[in-house]
Amino acid sequence: MKGVLQEVKDTDFVDPERLSKLIMPTLLVWGRSEKLLPYEGIEYFRANLPAHAEVHEVDGFGHLPQMERPAQLLDLLLDFARRNGLVS
């Protein structure tokens, strides 16, 4: 796994300025059981996403919540979509 992370370049990341200018409803879901990405990554997003963005840390989610806990992920996504008028 270290080999994969060593291959990451600065240009692979979303620029903080671009993140801060997002105007659409934004949801970041971060699994508390994430083992692929370093935990500090969530702090990058917290520091750079606009104030309206929602950041959720979810117990039991790892790197692939759509496979690990699909029903729980779907509930989270649908709730966000409904509250933001994205679905009826």
Instruction: Give the global pTM.
Output: 0.82
Element (H, E) at 78: helix 70-83
Q: How far apart are CA 6 and CA 63, in angstroms?
A: 18
Q: How far apart are CA 49 and CA 16, in angstroms?
A: 8
Domains located in the chain, CATH noted: 2-83 (3.40.50.1820)
Could you tell me the CA-to-CA distances from 74 to 25, 78, 80, 81 in Å, in that order?
Answer: 17, 6, 10, 10
More confident residue, 9 or 34: 34
**Span 29-43, mean pLDDT?**
89
pLDDT at 87 over 60: yes
Structure confidence at residue 4 as a pLDDT band (50, 70, 90):
low
Q: How many CB atoms lie within 10 A of CB 61?
A: 21
